[in-house]
Amino acid sequence: MAQIRFHEITKKYPGTSTPAVNAVTFDVPEGSTCMLVGTSGSGKTTLLRMVNRLIEPTSGEIIIDGKNILQENPIQLRRRIGYVIQQVGLFPHMTIAENVRVTAEIAGGWSKEKLASRVDELLELVGLPAKEYRQRFPRQLSGGQQQRVGLARALATDPAILLMDEPFGALDAITRARMQDELLRIQRNVRKTILFVSHDIEEAFKLGNQVAVMSEGKLIQIGSPVELLAQPVNDFVRRLVGGDNILRQLQYLPVADALDNRPEAVSSAHWGDVPTCSEDETLLQAMLQLLETNAPALAVQRKDTDNLLGYVTLTSINHAITRVRGNQNVPEGTHI
Ligand SMILES: Nc1ncnc2c1ncn2[C@@H]1O[C@H](COP(=O)(O)OP(=O)(O)OP(=O)(O)O)[C@@H](O)[C@H]1O
C-alpha cells in the first residue's frame, strides 16, 4: 500500500497562458479511493497522469511513501502503479491470458509458473472464470468484460497504486453499476490506493472515500461525499455534487445529522417504545422506516454499544435538509 501526496503540483503546457493544474496540494491516504471530479478541462487527467509521469510536472512535488517520484526512474515507477483507461486497448491477436500476462512479463521478476497462476487468479478476481475466458480473444468479449481484463492487467504486477481515468465511461448504466460494485468488492480484498477520474457524481460518491473537486486547474474542495454535500465551500461545488438534490442528501447524510433529543411527537411515556435505528443509517433509510412503521420517531442507537443517541422524526429530518440547503458559505473571491 502507499500514500500519495501532492504538494503545490503545477503543470503548464508549452504555449498555453494558464496552467492546466495549478498549485494543487492534497493527500490520498494509503488504501483509500480518491475520486477526481470537475468540469471538462479542469485538469483531472493531467493531474492523474503526472503520478505515473506520462506527463511531467512543471513544478511541485508528488511524494509516494515519502519519496519524491520526480527523482525516480519512470519505468520503475510505473511498475508500482496500475493504469486503467476507458479505451482498454487490448492486443487483438493475443488471448485474454496473454493480454494480462504481458504487463507482468514486461515488468519482469515473475517466473513462468508464477505468472500462469497469477493470471488465473487475476481473471477470477475480476469476475472472469479463468477456465472459460483464458483462451478467448478480446473480440469475443463484451465491452464490460474487456474492461475487466483491463483491470486484471493493471493489477498484474500487484501495484500499490491504481490510476483509473473514466474506466467505466463507455459502458451502459447497468454494466457500469456492476463494474462499480466489482471494484468495491475487489478493493475490499486488495486495498490499493486509488485515484479515479470520473464525470459521474453518483459514481464518485459510491466509490470514493474522498472526492476532490477541480475547476480551472485548481483544487476547489476535497472531502468525503457527506462533507461535500453538507458543507460545500461554494455554489459551484454545491451544484456539482447535487446539493440541491434532496434525494441525494437523504441518501448520503447520516441520521446523526437530524437528531432531536426530545421530539414533541413522542410523549415522554413512550420514549422507550419507539422503533430503533443505528447511527450509521442514512436519512433516507430512517425516513422509509418512519413511513413504513407509522411511528412518530425512531430512537437512534450508537453502532457499537446500542446506547441511545437521540431521536429522529420526519420534522427533524426536514430541518436537517433545510439546514444543509441553507448552508452556503461562498468564500470571497472564489472564481469558478
Ligand atoms: N498536451 C496538451 N497541450 C496543451 N494543452 C493541453 C494538453 N493536454 C491538455 N491540455 C489542456 O489542459 C487543460 C486540462 O486538460 P485535462 O485533460 O487534464 O482536463 P480534464 O479535467 O481531464 O478534462 P476532461 O474531463 O474533458 O477529460 C485543458 O484546458 C486542456 O485543453
Residue 313 lies in a domain: yes
> To test the ligand 1 pocket, which listed residue (9, 10, 12, 16) has its Cβ within 8 A of the most ligand atoms?
16
For residue 10, how far is its CA from the centre of ligand 1 (angstroms)? 13
> To test the ligand 1 pocket, which listed residue (10, 11, 13) has its Cβ within 8 A of the most ligand atoms?
13
Q: Are residues 29 and 153 in the same domain?
A: yes
Total domains in the fold of the chain: 2
Residue 334 lies in a domain: no
In this structure, what is the dihedral angle of CA atoms 39, 43, 45, 50, given to the nearest 10 degrees? -160
pLDDT digits (tens, 9 = 90+) for 63-93: 998 899 999 999 888 888 999 988 888 999 9
Half-sphere exposure of 111 (CA within 13 A, CB side): 3
Residue 311, strand partner residues: 260, 299
Among 51-55, 131-135, 173-177, name the one with the lowest average pLDDT: 173-177
d(C-alpha 307, C-alpha 57), whole Å: 51
Q: Are residues 254 and 237 in the same domain?
A: no
Final residue in a domain of this structure, among 213, 244, 275: 244
- Report the pLDDT value the prediction gives residue 203, as an integer from 0 to 100: 92
For residue 21, how far is its CA from the centre of ligand 1 (angstroms)? 9
Q: Are residues 217 and 307 in the same domain?
A: no
Question: At residue 245, does pLDDT exceed 70?
Answer: yes
Q: Are residues 282 and 322 in the same domain?
A: yes
Band of residue 1 on the pLDDT scale cut at 50, 70, 90: low
Can you tell me which atom of ligand 1 is nearest the CA of 11?
12
For residue 217, how far is its CA from the centre of ligand 1 (angstroms)? 9
Question: At residue 18, does pLDDT exceed 90?
Answer: yes
Question: At residue 261, does pLDDT exceed 60?
Answer: yes
Atom 11 of ligand 1 has which residue's CA nearest to it?
A: 20
Atom 28 of ligand 1 has which residue's CA nearest to it?
A: 41
Average pLDDT in the 119-129 region? Answer: 89
- Which is nearest to 199 in space by CA: 224, 167, 228, 226? 167
For residue 43, how far is its CA from the centre of ligand 1 (angstroms)? 6
- Which is nearest to 155 in space by CA: 215, 103, 108, 120? 103
Across the chain, what does the average pLDDT equal? 87
Angle at which helices 173-190 and 143-155 cross, to 10°:
20
Residue 138 lies in a domain: yes
Cβ(41) – ligand 1 distance below 6 Å: yes
Question: At residue 136, does pLDDT exceed 50?
Answer: yes
Residue 333 lies in a domain: no
Q: Are residues 21 and 157 in the same domain?
A: yes
Band of residue 205 on the pLDDT scale cut at 50, 70, 90: very high
> To test the ligand 1 pocket, which listed residue (24, 35, 39, 46) has its Cβ within 8 A of the most ligand atoms?
46
d(C-alpha 34, C-alpha 44), whole Å: 12
- Which is nearest to 201 in space by CA: 269, 235, 248, 160? 248
Band of residue 330 on the pLDDT scale cut at 50, 70, 90: very low
Q: Are residues 32 and 55 in the same domain?
A: yes
Question: At residue 334, does pLDDT exceed 50?
Answer: no
Tell me, what amino acid is at 266?
Answer: V
Band of residue 48 on the pLDDT scale cut at 50, 70, 90: very high
Final residue in a domain of this structure, among 223, 244, 265: 244
- Report the pLDDT value the prediction gives residue 126, as an integer from 0 to 100: 86
Atom 3 of ligand 1 has which residue's CA nearest to it?
A: 13
Cβ-proximal residues to 196 (8 Å cutoff; 6+ apart), any chain: 33, 34, 35, 36, 162, 163, 164, 167, 204, 207, 208
Band of residue 331 on the pLDDT scale cut at 50, 70, 90: very low
Query: Would you give the end-to-end CA distance of the chain in angstroms?
Result: 35
CATH of the domain at 283: 3.90.1280.20
Band of residue 333 on the pLDDT scale cut at 50, 70, 90: very low
Structural domain of 142 = 4-244
| Cell numbers given for 323 | 439546514
Q: Are residues 97 and 234 in the same domain?
A: yes
For residue 46, how far is its CA from the centre of ligand 1 (angstroms)? 6
CATH of the domain at 18: 3.40.50.300
Question: At residue 214, does pLDDT exceed 90?
Answer: yes
Question: At residue 336, does pLDDT exceed 90?
Answer: no
Angle at which helices 112-125 and 173-190 cross, to 10°:
130
Q: Are residues 211 and 103 in the same domain?
A: yes
- Report the pLDDT value the prediction gives residue 267, as an integer from 0 to 100: 64
Q: Are residues 292 and 236 in the same domain?
A: no
Q: Are residues 256 and 228 in the same domain?
A: no
Q: Are residues 69 and 205 in the same domain?
A: yes
Q: Are residues 240 and 313 in the same domain?
A: no
d(C-alpha 191, C-alpha 247), whole Å: 30
Residue 300, strand partner residues: 277, 310
Cβ(294) – ligand 1 distance below 6 Å: no
Question: At residue 194, does pLDDT exceed 70?
Answer: yes
* Cβ–Cβ under 8 Å, residues 227 and 253: no
pLDDT digits (tens, 9 = 90+) for 138-180: 999 988 899 899 989 988 888 899 999 998 888 888 888 888 9
- Report the pLDDT value the prediction gives residue 41, as an integer from 0 to 100: 93
CA distances from 288 to 101, 141, 284 (A): 49, 41, 6
- Report the pLDDT value the prediction gives residue 335, as an integer from 0 to 100: 35
Residue 259 lies in a domain: yes
Residue 317 lies in a domain: yes
Final residue in a domain of this structure, among 209, 244, 279: 244
